[in-house]
Chain A
Amino acid sequence: MVRDITLGQYMPGKSIVHRMDARSKILMLLAMIGFIFAADNYMALLLITLSSLLVVLLTRISFMMYLKSMKVILFLVLFTGILNIFYGSGQVYWEWQFIKITEGGVNNAVFVTIRIAAMVLVSSVLTFTTSPNDLTDGIEKLLSPLKLFHVKVHEIAMMMTIALRFIPVLLEEADKIMNAQKARGADMESGGALKRVRAMVPVLIPLFVSAFRRANDLAMAMECRCYNGGKGRTRMKIMKFGGVDLAALIYLIVVFAGVILCNIVFPATVR
């Protein structure tokens, strides 16, 4: 089950989005999310959705993978979407006792749904096309000004790298322990919520013990390879801002201008 989750998985490739610098991808993702929330009318929303879809196309990763990553948050999207229908004001379409569906509510629902979906889409572009290492390197570089305030940027990035590396390992281990407990007659599927949570305890304890043992081993292995914190470390891959990044920046500016223009020309549908 856990293996079907595609959110936050790297898919190697050679598309232009793959070739972009991790730092510019992170910054542009943040900008895109900003634009998605800045779009306040249907034209702007359409523009930003189409431009997100164009980026998705450029990654040359099958759209199915994106749909799979949406599946995880499907419930959240539907839930917030449906809730939003009942809020808002304006022309009333339908009314029953205290529940009413209004024009404003429907607009809100559409916007919230599309905004969240588009946000997940562009975030997936980042995680699908950037290797975890590049991603953490990018974050480390972007946060490095914080070193002035004694924030341990390198250590944070290292922790993220290790966490990303060990998520699949620990998931697999949890699977194994669960099977081992089931083989001993543990019942994890029946009973109420409370009973099922209690049934997880015999899975979590060995998982924690093993995680600590792994941490000890890993620390030793890192020491063996002369790890000494961030000081004096070089990197194999040098990040540089290239032609692709420039093209992406221009694209971003065009999209930004488009969204602003739409916002000025058309009246705001939502706040």
Chain B
Amino acid sequence: MGSFIEVKDLYFKYDDPEDENKNEFALNGINLTIEKGSFVAVVGHNGSGKSTLAKHFNSLYLPTSGDVSVNGMNTKDDSHLFDIRRSIGLVLQNPDNQIVAGIVEDDVAFGCENLGIPPKEIRKRVDDALKAVDMYEYRLHSPDKLSGGQKQRVAIAGIIAMEPECIVLDEPTAMLDPQGRDEVISAVMKLNRERGITVIIITHYMEEAVLADRVVVIDKGRVFLDGTPKEVFSQVEMLKQHRLDVPQGTELVYKLRGCGFELPKCVLDENECADAIEKLLKGVS
């Protein structure tokens, strides 16, 4: 597992004359290395700079200073643009605004068509991609008749049909209902586990972050926590200081510990929490 994306001293300022805090940097010196095949969650509250960071990975935004490189290719170098975008697929937040064509399978083919892949190969990739996100039976539907979660999965299929090495998802579930959220997350996890695609998911749902191998917490354009979910979510106080939530189970155990109960230092989800409390109760009685 070598480093795949490398971010060095990244500073970024929006070039928007109407922005009132135009002198503020959206990103304030970010250093980050992402390994191939990993599943990374980037979390932070609104305005923390997490989406801005995501758009640096495939050179939609270029650093004001510092460098971002993908597979050793600097995003500032125009000649690598095509190769970078081909190896890093970005899925955006609003599923409606990223579907180009009026038929599901035509939309999934859009990226491949841009890459100039032969028609037969496109057909195969499109079918594969749609099956990978469980949308194959909807291939001839019109996108507007699909639910939000289904649309977002179509958008993901459109990216995986291009066979990127890495998928970056910029708050893919922010506009979805809980069921749609589950659909999208399990589709993404499957891609990571089964195909070894590197996944970077930008989110503010801590329940999603828990599923990742690594969690990077961003606030005010800086990385302030970086580690496994256990390492990160054991620092409940620190997270709270930065106006971030922790998963409910984690919070409950944290509060119980505060009351003097003997519980493990960190649990991540409801099941672990229930087990821990059950153990405690059995020990008491």
Contacts and interface: CB of A to CB of B under 8 A. Distances in A.
B197 interface: no
A218 interface: yes
A37 B143 CA distance: 38
B118 interface: yes
B58 interface: yes
B93 to A, nearest CB: 8
A217 B100 CA distance: 11
Interface stretch (B5-13, B18-26, B109-117, B246-254): B109-117
A271 interface: no
Interface stretch (A45-53, A160-168, A187-195, A246-254): A160-168
Given A225-B110, A234-B116, A165 B102 contact: yes
Interface stretch (B39-47, B71-79, B119-127, B180-188): B119-127
Interface stretch (A20-28, A87-95, A142-150, A235-243): A235-243
Interface residues of A, number: 31
Contacts of A169: 96, 144
A12 interface: yes
B98 interface: yes
B165 interface: no
Nearest to B110: A225
B113 A214 contact: no
B98 A217 contact: yes
A266 interface: no
B238 interface: no
B101 interface: yes
Interface string B30-67: 00000000000000000000000000001010000000
Nearest to A9: B142
Interface in A192-245: 214, 217-218, 220-228, 232-238
Contacts of A222: 100, 110
A218 B96 CA distance: 9
Interface stretch (B81-89, B216-224, B256-264, B274-282): B81-89
B102 A218 contact: no
A42 interface: no
Contacts of B148: none
A162 B92 CA distance: 18
Given A162-B100, A234-B122, A235-B109, 13 more contacts: A161-B100, A172-B144, A214-B96, A221-B155, A223-B60, A223-B85, A224-B159, A225-B110, A226-B85, A226-B111, A236-B105, A236-B122, A237-B106
Q: Which 4 A-B pairs have the closest CB atoms?
A: A221-B98, A217-B97, A225-B111, A236-B109
Interface of B: 58, 60, 82, 85-86, 89-90, 92, 94, 96-103, 105-106, 109-119, 122-123, 126, 140, 142-144, 155, 158-159, 162
Interface of A: 10, 12, 131-133, 161-162, 164-165, 168-169, 172, 214, 217-218, 220-228, 232-238
19 contacts: A10-B142, A12-B140, A131-B106, A132-B101, A133-B103, A161-B100, A161-B101, A165-B100, A169-B144, A214-B94, A217-B98, A221-B100, A221-B155, A224-B89, A224-B90, A224-B92, A225-B85, A236-B112, A237-B119
